């Protein structure tokens, strides 16, 4: 007989979506269990996103998990767009009425959330195996899994599929229910984490004939840098020397700016894709974050979008448990998707403006440069970029 347990909300995945949801539910007095197939160390050390929108920062603070982020995070009020070897600043503070972004690694957010869940008696089970979701269209769906060689069952009122793009929740929805909207890009990003003080106070997004490059950071001693590469680029072909050389070429500037290098601590290649599934719900299964959509990283939106989904889902579950009303649960997918598509548009636009496409011709390149010129010289265009980058407001309907 499997070991059976009961909870209100079963959550698959302990990434940003799963952990934020679990802690928000706890703060509303709603029970949940999070099931994660990786180890806690693996999840907390995976190098991923680093830019938090104001809404994400405010939410983490309201949840009581923002103390270290407030202390260690770097608040930025602008970014640089660099093209034709010249930098142009987009001033978020001035263009958005004082808003900014915070640089604080996804891994650090996850450590803070795990600590908060554990300190408040939360159940986050790591290294579970063979997770399956069942009876999704019944009033009591269940999650089966194996933990320490024992078969287990978790009976829930609702299941939150927070298990990322490669998870099992989305594929468990019966065929024909979901529609997928997809675009893959003919390039990837080669990313490094380097023991080197950031060479700029703010992020630099660069358009160059050889391809896009991005200078970002994690703290005052760690730089995070990216180069556009082939989607299937062999990382073994890239010595640290070659990476720094290429970064220096693409990021070069006419004003004497220098790139500080240092030991490379981690490197990897990430594919680029835009993907949305509609609707983000089936029966009592609610998909949130990367399990429902992914964006190319050029807009720095993946983590932030995962957080807003679960903010909307937590509100809906709170309304259900406190008032018995299904209204917000019923509109979950529609409310999320309106914002998801706007963020998709922005991420696609930033990606198309800044990357070299293999079938580009000189016309396309001139058009891209004209777009960059326009964005950095028209206040209306700069404002559009700024208000999307710092994060669009959350709408109720």
Q: Confirm or reject binding of residue 17 to ligand FAD (CB under 6 A).
A: yes
Q: Confirm or reject binding of residue 15 to ligand FAD (CB under 6 A).
A: yes
Which residue out of 301, 320, 332, 355 is catalytically annotated?
301
Per-position x/- string for 277-316, each x denoting binding to ligand FAD as judged by CB under 6 A, each - no binding: ------------xx------x--xxxx--x----------
Residue 88 is among the residues annotated as catalytic for this protein: no
Q: Label each residue of the chain as H, E or C.
A: CCEEEECCEEEECCCHHHHHHHHHHHHCCCCEEEECCCCHHHHHHCCCCCEECHHHHHHHHHCCCCHHHHHHCEEECEEEEEECCEEEEEEHHHHHCCCCEEECCHHHHHHHHHHHHHHCCCEEECCCEEEEEECCCCCCCEEEEEECCEEEEEECCEEEECCCCCCCCHHHCCCCCCEEEEEEEEEEEEEEEEECCCCCCCCEEECCCCCCEEEEEEECCEEEEEEEECCCCCHHHCCHHHHHHHHHHHHCCCCCCCCCCCCEEEEEEEEEEEEEEECCEECCEEECHHHCEECCHHHCCHHHHHHHHHHHHHHHHHHHHHHCCCHHHHHHHHHHHHHHHHHHHHHHHHHHHHCCCCCCCHHHHHHHHHHHHHHHHCHHHHHHHHHHHHCCCCCCC
- Binding ligand PHB (rule: CB under 6 A), the pick from 19, 20, 52, 300 is 300
The residue range among 43-51, 63-71, 248-256, 322-330 that interacts with ligand FAD, by the rule CB under 6 A, is 43-51
Minimum distance of ligand FAD from residue 38's CB (angstroms): 4
Q: Confirm or reject binding of residue 49 to ligand PHB (CB under 6 A).
A: yes
Query: CA–CA separation, 57 vs 329, rounded Å?
Result: 25
Residue 205 is among the residues annotated as catalytic for this protein: yes
Give the burial class of 40: count Cβ atoms within 10 A of its Cβ; 0-12 exposed, 13-18 middle, 19 or more buried.
middle
Q: Confirm or reject binding of residue 131 to ligand FAD (CB under 6 A).
A: yes
Cα–Cα nearest to 185, from 135, 223, 138, 232: 232
The option from ligand FAD, ligand PHB, none interacting with 131 (CB < 5 to 8 A, set by class) reads ligand FAD
For ligand FAD, the closer of residues 266 and 322 by Cβ is 266
The residue range among 36-44, 148-156, 246-254, 319-327 that interacts with ligand FAD, by the rule CB under 6 A, is 36-44
Per-position x/- string for 342-371, each x denoting binding to ligand FAD as judged by CB under 6 A, each - no binding: ------------------------------
Q: Confirm or reject binding of residue 50 to ligand PHB (CB under 6 A).
A: yes
- The interface with ligand PHB within residues 190-229 (CB under 6 A) comprises 203, 216, 224
Q: Confirm or reject binding of residue 13 to ligand FAD (CB under 6 A).
A: yes
The option from ligand FAD, ligand PHB, none interacting with 228 (CB < 5 to 8 A, set by class) reads none
Residue 76 is among the residues annotated as catalytic for this protein: yes
For ligand FAD, the closer of residues 38 and 111 by Cβ is 38
Q: Which residues pair with 189 in a beta bridge?
A: 228, 270
The option from ligand FAD, ligand PHB, none interacting with 298 (CB < 5 to 8 A, set by class) reads ligand PHB
Q: Which residues pair with 285 in a beta bridge?
A: 159, 282
Q: Confirm or reject binding of residue 297 to ligand PHB (CB under 6 A).
A: yes
Q: Which residues pair with 19 in a beta bridge?
A: none
The option from ligand FAD, ligand PHB, none interacting with 285 (CB < 5 to 8 A, set by class) reads none
Q: Confirm or reject binding of residue 49 to ligand FAD (CB under 6 A).
A: yes
The residue range among 23-31, 149-157, 254-262, 293-301 that interacts with ligand PHB, by the rule CB under 6 A, is 293-301
| Contact indicator for 389, 300 with CB cutoff of 8 Å | yes
Which residue out of 26, 77, 205, 207 is catalytically annotated?
205
Contact positions vs ligand FAD (CB under 6 A): 12-18, 35-38, 43, 48-49, 106, 131, 162-164, 167-168, 270, 289-290, 297, 300-303, 306
Contact positions vs ligand PHB (CB under 6 A): 49-51, 203, 216, 224, 297-298, 300
The set of catalytic residues is 76, 205, 297, 301, 389
């Amino acid at each position: 007989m499997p070991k059976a347990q009961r909870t209100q909300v079963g959550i698959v995945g302990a990434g940003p979506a799963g952990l934020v949801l679990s802690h928000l539910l706890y703060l509303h007095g709603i029970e949940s269990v999070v099931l994660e197939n990786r180890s806690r160390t693996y999840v907390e050390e995976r190098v991923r996103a680093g830019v938090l929108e104001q809404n994400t920062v405010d939410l983490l603070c309201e949840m009581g998990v923002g103390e270290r982020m407030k202390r260690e995070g770097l608040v930025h009020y602008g970014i640089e767009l660099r093209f034709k070897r010249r930098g142009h600043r987009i001033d978020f503070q001035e263009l958005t009425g004082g808003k900014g972004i915070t640089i604080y690694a996804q891994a650090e957010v996850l450590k803070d959330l795990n600590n908060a869940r554990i300190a408040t008696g939360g159940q986050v089970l790591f290294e579970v195996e063979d997770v399956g979701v069942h009876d999704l269209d019944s009033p009591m769906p269940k999650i089966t899994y194996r933990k320490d060689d024992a078969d287990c069952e978790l009976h829930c009122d609702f299941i939150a599929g927070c298990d990322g793009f490669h998870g099992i929740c989305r594929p468990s929805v019966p065929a024909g229910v979901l529609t997928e909207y997809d675009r893959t890009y003919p390039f990837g990003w080669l990313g490094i984490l380097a023991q080197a003080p950031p060479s700029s106070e703010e992020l630099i997004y660069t358009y160059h004939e050889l391809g896009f490059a991005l200078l970002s950071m994690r703290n005052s001693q760690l730089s995070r840098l990216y180069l556009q590469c082939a989607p299937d680029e062999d990382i073994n072909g890239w010595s640290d020397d070659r990476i720094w050389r290429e970064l220096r070429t693409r990021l070069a500037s006419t004003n004497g700016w220098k790139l500080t290098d240092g030991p490379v601590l981690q490197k990897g290649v990430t594919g680029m894709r835009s993907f949305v599934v509609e609707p983000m719900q089936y029966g009592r299964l609610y998909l949130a974050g990367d399990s429902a959509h992914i964006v190319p990283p050029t807009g720095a939106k993946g983590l932030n979008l995962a957080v807003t989904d679960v903010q909307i889902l937590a509100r809906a579950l709170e309304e259900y448990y406190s008032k018995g009303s299904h209204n917000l649960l019923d509109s979950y997918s529609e409310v999320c998707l309106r914002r998801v598509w706007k963020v998709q548009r922005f991420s696609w636009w930033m990606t198309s403006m800044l990357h070299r496409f293999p079938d580009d011709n000189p016309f396309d390149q001139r058009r891209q440069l004209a777009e960059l010129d326009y964005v950095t010289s028209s206040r209306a265009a700069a404002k559009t970029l700024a208000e999307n980058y710092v994060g669009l407001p959350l709408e109720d309907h």
